Amino acid sequence: MVMEDFNLLISTFRGNENNACSEIWFLLGELGDREAIVDRTEVSGLVVAKTNLDPFKAIEGLRGILKERPWEF
């Protein structure tokens, strides 16, 4: 069953969904949401997340991490 109440949609390459879930969960935790819920979808290559952060601020934060530490992605 796919989480229906998500506010972030994450794409990855097929077969990498588990790694993507772990990475986004860790990164959202670094941004301050230690209770984020991340789950695979039925669509190969797509992951969803529910964060308590403002989704737009979360994206800004992720972009900041990407600029500073691109190897994290």
pLDDT in tens, 17-53: 999 999 999 999 999 999 999 999 999 999 999 999 9
* Both structure tokens of 27: 């990164």
* Both structure tokens of 39: 């789950």
CATH number, residue 40: 3.30.70.1940
Q: Which amino acid is at 20?
A: A
What stretches of the chain show up as alpha helix (H) in DSSP? 17-30, 55-68
Give me the pLDDT at residue 12, please: 97
Domains: count for the chain = 1
Is the distance from CB of 17 to CB of 44 less than 8 angstroms?
yes
Does this model's pTM top 0.85? My answer is yes
Closest among 67, 71, 63 to 31, alpha carbons compared: 63
Domain contains 1 = no
Query: CA 64, CA 38: separation in Å to the nearest integer?
Result: 21
